[in-house]
Amino acid sequence: MKYLFTVESDTTRGLRVFSHTHQLAGSIMEIRDRVFRPARKHGYVDPKISKLLETLGDDGIELIGLLEDKFNEVLDDHDVMEYS
């Protein structure tokens, strides 16, 4: 029987955690840009979202704004964007 063990140094583990943290931060910014920003700027590419917003009118845009406020509150509560 053969066993394979992987030994990871603290430095390697730290670099891996840093890399994942960096990816997470980038994902948060992408959520902001892809989910909330189109409502204020150029509109959504997704036809289903566009149709729903067209149906809801100003209420749909207001809803997205309220959700964006909640999103930013969560980030603020956890000091996520403090260093950006």
Expressed as residue numbers, the domain containing 57 is: 38-78
Whether the CB-CB separation of 50 and 43 falls below 8 Å is answered with: yes
Q: What is the pLDDT of residue 64?
A: 95
Whether the CB-CB separation of 61 and 53 falls below 8 Å is answered with: yes
Whether the CB-CB separation of 36 and 64 falls below 8 Å is answered with: yes
User: Is pLDDT of 75 > 80?
Assistant: yes
Whether the CB-CB separation of 70 and 76 falls below 8 Å is answered with: no
Would you say residue 42 lies in a domain? yes
CB atoms within 10 A of CB 18: 10
Q: What is the pLDDT of residue 73?
A: 93
Rounded Cα distance between 30 and 24, Å, is 10
3-52 pLDDT, tens digit per residue, is 666 666 778 878 877 888 888 888 998 999 999 999 988 899 999 999 99
For residue 78, what pLDDT band results from cuts at 50, 70 and 90? confident
Would you say residue 60 lies in a domain? yes
Rounded Cα distance between 34 and 80, Å, is 18
Query: Count of domains in the chain?
Result: 1
Would you say residue 27 lies in a domain? no
Would you say residue 18 lies in a domain? no
